[in-house]
Amino acid sequence: MTTELAANGKPYVHHHGAHCETAVTSALFRYQGVDISEPMIFGIGSGIFFGYLPFIKLVHLPVTAFRYKPGAVFHKAAKRLGGDFVIKTYRDPQKGMDELRQVLKTGQIVGLSTNLYWLPYVTERHRHNFNGHNIIVLREIEGGFRISDPTFGDPVDCSADGLDQARFVPGPLNPHGYMYYTKSVNPHPDLRGACIKGMKDSCSLMLRIPLPIFGVRGMRFLAKKIIKSPDKLGFQEACRHLAGTVRWVEETGTGGAGFRYMYAAFFHEAAGLFSSDELADLSKEMTAIGDNWREFSLTAARIIKQKDKAEETFAKAGGLILKCADREEAFFRKLQKVARQLKA
Amino acid sequence: MKDQKELAMELEDEIFNDGLPKAYYKHNENGQYVLETNAPWAEKVSCALIIAGNRANLEEIRKAVLAGQKSPLCYHMELRQLDPGMLAKAAGMAVFRVKRHLRPDVFTKLKPSVLNRYTKALRVTLEELKTVPNS
């Protein structure tokens, strides 16, 4: 936690967060005086999801998404909490940068979508060609901008050229200078109503999409693929695919175990808000599911390291995901019932 | 065997001591959810494997370019983490043309106007596009 000053001298507190989008949204609300934590935003914005997209490849590996599509969490949370945001995209990079400078001069802090590959301060392990990394610009400094990137511990400096490059990338992964800042925020948002909406939405996302690659069905699909992978791809390549999956579970800003721990934290807070024991139980259950996902990644890592070859097999790793799928199905069916009984 | 293991450990240390730790939620004994910055072991292993794979892949392509089997365009495309489809969209060209330009004999005959499209799409200078780094 560090305190920085925005352009008009108003203090801004930088919190270290797990995920870029939820942390940025919560920081924007906090800056306006609405104290709301990152897991809360994640739950209200219905962030939890699962999708296995074998036809989209990043650096030759298929995408496994554990959250809903980039941008959606922010939109949903803002709508449900009654925040009014100005959202803009640009074709012309020059115009985009000029407007950013103008908005910063009025004392606003501005959220931006950038391409992670081109941000100058990230290191090799964070360098994905991913166009939905959210950051906050605090103020203009000499030759650049002061940036609060909540996925990292401290605010950083970024050169103007570097930010320009990251906001406008040629090709299909162009964020088009996507920029958002607050117009007005409801100082006393209806947290309980928003929580219920978020829970119900999450249930239908996880259970009711009639495609085999999303929700709990998607988990079973991925599990079957993993079990078959050593025969189909060969051991080395199968290991690479497995490592790719683990990277999606643990690394890409998920807060551990594919957002499951963060979602459990949301239920922990919601249980306090509604003073409901059922929600507290659900929080414990979600933590257990998260432990299950963590066990999957441990098994995967042991396969990669070739420890206990007889015990740690692809079949075991796939079986763990199947177990996760069953437990999550039961979890969201229970949540449907619980959410119906909650009163806003 | 031991050397390989040591190399993998060194790579893990190298890429995870970059001064930019990520945060992870953890359930502590008091029932609270707190943030900590220790990366899980599984993540370190998989990240090291993938990054080692990417580096080896890039190095292989660089050698193939120097041996005249692939065009330098292939190297720069891989460096930017793109595939021919994405590069084609970025440069405003058909995919089959981009794939053709990955052949060294075709690439050497390209007109400057076509090369300029690639320099804009990949953000490299014309000189860089025609060569690969020596080491």
B94: left (phi over 0), alpha (psi -120 to 50) or beta: beta
ipTM summary value: 0.80
For A122, the closest chain B residue by CA position comes to B20
B98 in reach of chain A (CB within 8 A): no
- pLDDT band at B3; cut points 50, 70, 90: low
Euclidean distance between CA atoms A228 and A51, whole angstroms: 19
A118-131: b (≥16 Cβ within 10 Å) or e: bbeebeebbbbbbb
Nearest CA in chain A to B87: A171
Mean pLDDT, residues A91-117 taken together: 86
- Domain A2-35+83-185, architecture per CATH: Alpha-Beta Complex (3.90)
Is B90 within 8 Å of chain A by CB?
A: yes
CB within 8 Å: B15 and A125: yes
pLDDT value at position B1?
Answer: 46
Mean pLDDT score of chain A = 85
Average pLDDT over every residue of A310-339: 86
Separation between Cα atoms, residue A219 and residue A330, nearest integer Å? 14
Task: Indicate the pLDDT class of residue B49, thresholds 50, 70 and 90.
Answer: confident
pLDDT at B26 over 70: yes
Q: In sequence order, which residues have a C-beta less than 8 Å from that of residue A124 and are 6 or more positions away? A: B15, B18, B51
Per the CB < 8 Å rule, is B46 touching A57?
no
For the domain covering B70-135, report its CATH number. Answer: 1.10.260
Share of chain A above pLDDT 90, in %: 0
Of A231, A245, A220, which Cα lies nearest the Cα of A296?
A245
Tokens 């994905």 appear where?
A: A128
- Whether B9 and chain A come into contact, CB under 8 Å, resolves to no
B4-14 b/e (C-beta count within 10 Å ≥ 16 → b): eeeebeebbee
Tens of pLDDT, residue by residue over A245-266, are 888 888 777 777 878 888 888 8
Q: Domain-by-domain residue ranges, chain A?
A: 2-35+83-185, 191-341
